[in-house]
Amino acid sequence: MRRFVIAVLLLASSLLWAALPAAASPKIERIKTPLGIEVWFVREPSIPILSLQATWRGGSSSEPAGQEGLAQLATGLLNEGAGDLSADDFQIALQESAVDMGFSTERDYTTATIRTLTVNRARAFDLLKLALTAPRFDDEPVQRVKAQARVAYERSRTSPNALVGERFAQLAYGDHPYGRRSAPSTESLERIDRAALAGFTTSLLARSNLVIGAVGDVAPEDLARLVDTSFGSLPMQASVTLPVPVVPKTAAQPVVIPFPNPQSILLFGAPGIAREDPDWYAATVLNQVLGGGGMTSRLFEEVREKRGLVYSVGTQLAPYKAAALVSGSLATSNAQVGDALKLVRAELARVAKEGVTDRELAAAKSYMTGSFPLRLNSNAAIAGMLVAIQNTGLPPDYIDAYPGLINSVTQDDIRRVAERLFARNDYLVVVVGQPAGLETPASGKQGG
């Protein structure tokens, strides 16, 4: 029943934010707790829910070599028993108080999220403290999660998408941590024990690399006490190893991973534009026009709609903390890989030379500014945005400033960025399948 109540309230929260006019940006308060922890907070008293997101700088790229998947396993086990509560008891405690608590990790960050009815906030933050400071890593949940990871790994060996992503990362980043798997393999699972799990979380979960955003029906001083309860006992200084900057590698010839499938999956990429680069906003608008806009993008129109060469095609910007990548993907029948890649290369060269049309630019700006408020449609979404703004080093008025930043992009900006990104022919290209029309020997390697 309590879960049903919180689900109804979360839906009401989403409807409330969606109903607000675009100009009604959330008012951000910067709170300092008595222990000196900073929290960006938006007070929303209309729904009795508190949502909080916290991130720590450090993720799968901070794992020791040979222990790939350690971050994923460790975070997945944080709410599988803590303090004097076993895995089952911890889950029961969450359910009894209608608390949603989760942990996740990716290349650069580890994230904790919690959503609770405000009436249950004290218990919720006590449980969060236990998960962060006293995870048990008991043998039963560890072995259960490892067994699930083994199944996932074996399944990934027959997934073209997994294979192409792994091989692309290996070739783009080499021995850099970004070149390694972020999920565990059969071999790495054997090297991950309780000591490794505890050591990784102890080195990562600290106050020096902590960023917090919160939204909900609570007074700022009350939130400050709750944050100190959950995070105040963490070590002051993180000791996790962070990756050094790296430039993604390119290649003169496509790399093929033979795979018995009627269609091929292809990834291509090259060095991109960093998030802090002044050209970032122009790059996002260009990406929206070129391949980030789904069925309205230029690549979709030219490669799929007009010529029917692919099932799907798109591009994206990946501004990792230690690398900037621009990449694209397509899926097509084996027989059409060569023609599809040739046309994609031609379109990239065309945008590098000619830029985009005024109509394309206006449409991209309209979509990006119009859809931006939809990314703030719930308390949890706003909490996530508050964290993202801090992690990117942006000011609190970013939400208000975003439309102006996008609308200020000019045709000169687009042409400059297009040349920076796409005036080249040495993209790293990796294909999984049995592609036709590529003049390159097969690599024979299928990742791992």
- Give the pLDDT confidence score for residue 19 in this predicted structure: 47
Residue 23 scores a pLDDT above 70: no
119 or 14: which leads in pLDDT: 119
SS3 (DSSP) at 255:
strand
* Contact between residue 273 and residue 320 where contact means Cβ atoms under 8 Å apart: no
Range 255-433 has CATH code 3.20.20.150? no
Residue % of the chain over a pLDDT of 70: 92
Mean pLDDT (the chain, rounded) = 94
- Give the pLDDT confidence score for residue 441 in this predicted structure: 39
Residue 126 scores a pLDDT above 50: yes
From residue 111, alpha-carbon distances to 205, 407, 412, 444 in Å are 10, 32, 38, 37
What average pLDDT score do residues 344-367 get?
98
For 26-84, what is each residue's pLDDT tens digit? 999 999 999 999 999 999 999 999 999 999 999 999 999 999 999 999 999 999 999 99
Residue % of the chain over a pLDDT of 90: 92
- Give the pLDDT confidence score for residue 321 in this predicted structure: 98
- Give the pLDDT confidence score for residue 5 in this predicted structure: 47
Opening angle at CA 45, ends 384 and 116, nearest 5: 55
Q: Look at domain 29-232 and name its CATH class.
A: alpha beta
Q: Rounded to whole angstroms, how far apart are CA atoms 302 and 53?
A: 41
Residue 314 scores a pLDDT above 60: yes
Q: Name the band, by pLDDT with cuts 50, 70 and 90, for residue 24.
A: low
Q: Rounded to whole angstroms, how far apart are CA atoms 92 and 344?
A: 53
Instruction: Specify the range with the lowest mean pLDDT, choosing from 3-12, 52-61, 93-102.
Output: 3-12
Residue 282 scores a pLDDT above 50: yes
Helices (H), 205-293: 220-231, 280-287
Q: Name the band, by pLDDT with cuts 50, 70 and 90, for residue 448.
A: very low
For 173-214, what is each residue's pLDDT tens digit? 999 999 999 999 999 999 999 999 999 999 999 999 999 999
Name the segment(s) of the chain with CATH classification 3.30.830.10. 29-232, 255-433
Q: Name the band, by pLDDT with cuts 50, 70 and 90, for residue 444.
A: very low
Residue type, position 305, single letter = E
Q: Name the band, by pLDDT with cuts 50, 70 and 90, for residue 439.
A: low
- Give the pLDDT confidence score for residue 440 in this predicted structure: 52
Query: Would you say the C-alpha torsion 122, 123, 126, 127 has a positive or negative sign?
Result: negative
Q: Name the band, by pLDDT with cuts 50, 70 and 90, for residue 25.
A: confident
